[in-house]
Amino acid sequence: MSSGEQERLIGRRTVLKAAGGAALAGAAGFAAAPAANADETGRSADVIVIGSGFAGVTAARDLRQAGLRPVLLEARDRVGGRTWTSSYEGETIEFGGQWVGDVHTNAMAELRRYGIATKSGGPLPLRAFFPTAAGGQQEVDFVTANDHLNSLLARLFDGSATYFPRPREPLYAADVLARYDPLSLQDRLNQLTLSPQDKLWLSGMTGVFSGGSSTVGGLTAFAQAWAGGGHTGQGWNELQEYLIQGGTGALLNAMLTDAQADLRLNSPVASVAEEPGRVVVTTRAGVRYYAPTVVVAVPVNVWRTISFQPGLPAVHTSATREGVGVPNAAKLLIRLRGEHRLPFALGPEGAPMSWIVPQSELPDGDQLVVGFTVDPTINLTSVADVQAKVRTILPGATVREFRAHSWARDRWAMGGWALRRPNQLLRQVPAIHQPHGRIVFASGDVPAAWHGYIEGAIEAGKLGAQQALSII
């Protein structure tokens, strides 16, 4: 397993079988060309795509369908970017993005195109724990609590229909938006009159989505997803309505097969240089690739690790310096002893574990849950540490074992899901979507709509392919 990946099984007993090794190769599902050596001569291509997440693979697929031969350069030893399908005890598990909904029209169209089905986004929790103003966690009825949480989100996003009347066209009401884009989620929380308990619940949500602190996430970034769900709690819930049969890797593999790209794994890029009539992409191993244009489909946070010649435009420079992917994010698949059946837990902002949602009940009664943490100090090699953090929001839980990946510590991600900072929307869009000479940017962090979702990555890849074709 590469040093950039932290997916592993940590537990009191070993039950992983061969899934860990299969996850690295199985995400691709077919053979890839090996990384080229520095002493090989430069390679020419019709187009180069950097990054094999959904944005990069979408771009490569669309470019291939236009008759071009794409070279696809991937830093990792697997494809998928910030999606990553694996398996555990015969179940499909995901270490990155995983949910889709009917409103995600691009993703749903791709699933129909390849005949891939969806399934329920997860079981209804039977037990639920939320923070209490008296301290600690309290057990509540999940449906009642979720309805109340949605009502709090509706208060947080009150007015979103005026500044996002058309969520897929975020600048449609730019004059109204200008009053809200400078606000952080914390700024908006401060405007609301909330009971101590309601503030704990609502800031627990805004804190985890911001990657740790509600001061980091922009109000309009979170509100755009709420608006995309129709400005309602039901629509918000339906953004997580489905999982993909076979995992996100099933869809990615189908698209990648169509792309027929020359896939080069273990090929992190050191520099992208524009020359008269072409672009030269050099890997860290010193191998050069030449093409009329390049599509850069890596996370915005990673742009700063690549030398661009000439330098990046000001808007791109500020975006990668500030970051778009949240600064702290790790996702865990945790096997719990069966005391709590299908448990859900939400922690207060700053809790060592932020959020737990049930995935399934195993045959022996143990519970498989998904955990999210934005705690930068979590020890992802220690059952004791993970159990201690889980118990802060799920009292009495016993962790048997877990698998985890820290996206914050992943050098090819340098952060988790995308959530724009205050002022970034109006400062970045639409300039950040424009090519820079022969260099096209197609990160799933910056689409006009659905940034941070699989839907947005597909959107970005489609636009990137169109822009590359216009250059060629």
Assign 334 to helix, strand or coil.
strand
**In this predicted structure, what is the pLDDT of residue 39?**
44
**In this predicted structure, what is the pLDDT of residue 3?**
33
Average pLDDT over residues 273-282: 97
The residue type at 420? R
**In this predicted structure, what is the pLDDT of residue 370?**
98
**In this predicted structure, what is the pLDDT of residue 32?**
62
Do the beta carbons of residue 9 and residue 401 sit within 8 Å? Answer: yes
Residue 208, both tokens: 């985890």
Domains of the chain plus CATH, in order, are: 18-85+246-324+414-471 (3.50.50.60), 122-239+330-406 (3.90.660.10)
**Beta bridge partner(s), residue 354:** none
**In this predicted structure, what is the pLDDT of residue 20?**
31
Rounded to the nearest angstrom, the gap between the alpha carbon of residue 284 and the centroid of all alpha carbons in its chain is 25
**In this predicted structure, what is the pLDDT of residue 174?**
97
* N-term to C-term CA, the chain: 38
pLDDT digits (tens, 9 = 90+) for 150-167: 999 999 999 999 999 999
Report the run of H or E that residue 321 belongs to, with start and end.
helix 314-322
- Binning pLDDT at 50, 70 and 90, where does residue 17 land? very low
**In this predicted structure, what is the pLDDT of residue 26?**
42
Closest residue by Cα to residue 285 from 34, 35, 32, 3: 35
Assign 28 to helix, strand or coil.
coil
pLDDT over threshold 70, residue 25:
no
- Binning pLDDT at 50, 70 and 90, where does residue 27 land? very low
Q: 3-state SS string over 373-432?
A: ECCCCCCCCCHHHHHHHHHCCCCCCCEEEEEEEECCCCCCCCCCCECCCCCHHHHHCCHH
Distance CA 160, CA 293 (A): 38
**In this predicted structure, what is the pLDDT of residue 34?**
56
Average pLDDT over residues 242-269: 98
**In this predicted structure, what is the pLDDT of residue 18?**
29
The residue type at 50? I
The fraction of the chain above a pLDDT of 70, given in percent, is: 91
Better-scored residue on pLDDT, 40 or 414: 414
pLDDT over threshold 50, residue 445:
yes
Average pLDDT over residues 297-314: 97
Contacts of 70 by beta carbon, 8 Å cutoff, 6+ apart: 45, 46, 47, 48, 49, 59, 60, 63, 64, 259, 261, 262
> What is the overall mean pLDDT for the chain?
92
Distance CA 417, CA 323 (A): 11
**Beta bridge partner(s), residue 465:** none
Do the beta carbons of residue 339 and residue 367 sit within 8 Å? Answer: no
**In this predicted structure, what is the pLDDT of residue 28?**
39
Average pLDDT over residues 104-112: 98
The residue type at 311? G
Do the beta carbons of residue 111 and residue 244 sit within 8 Å? Answer: yes
Average pLDDT over residues 282-298: 98
- Binning pLDDT at 50, 70 and 90, where does residue 30 land? very low
Length of the chain: 472
**In this predicted structure, what is the pLDDT of residue 21?**
32
Handedness of CA 307, 313, 314, 319 (dihedral sign): negative
pLDDT over threshold 60, residue 29:
no
pLDDT over threshold 80, residue 85:
yes
Residue 144, both tokens: 């009642």
Do the beta carbons of residue 94 and residue 247 sit within 8 Å? Answer: yes
Do the beta carbons of residue 66 and residue 74 sit within 8 Å? Answer: no
Better-scored residue on pLDDT, 217 or 18: 217
**In this predicted structure, what is the pLDDT of residue 1?**
29
Is residue 430 reached through a cis peptide bond, with omega within 30 degrees of 0 on the bond before it? yes
Distance CA 338, CA 364 (A): 8
**In this predicted structure, what is the pLDDT of residue 19?**
31
pLDDT over threshold 90, residue 36:
no
**In this predicted structure, what is the pLDDT of residue 41?**
54
Average pLDDT over residues 51-75: 98
**In this predicted structure, what is the pLDDT of residue 452?**
93
**In this predicted structure, what is the pLDDT of residue 129?**
98
pLDDT digits (tens, 9 = 90+) for 320-339: 999 999 999 999 999 999 99
- Binning pLDDT at 50, 70 and 90, where does residue 303 land? very high
Beta strands in 190-314 (DSSP E): 242-244, 262-264, 269-275, 278-283, 288-291, 294-296, 307-309
Rounded to the nearest angstrom, the gap between the alpha carbon of residue 431 and the centroid of all alpha carbons in its chain is 22
pLDDT digits (tens, 9 = 90+) for 412-442: 999 999 999 999 999 999 999 999 999 999 9
pLDDT digits (tens, 9 = 90+) for 344-365: 999 999 999 999 999 999 999 9
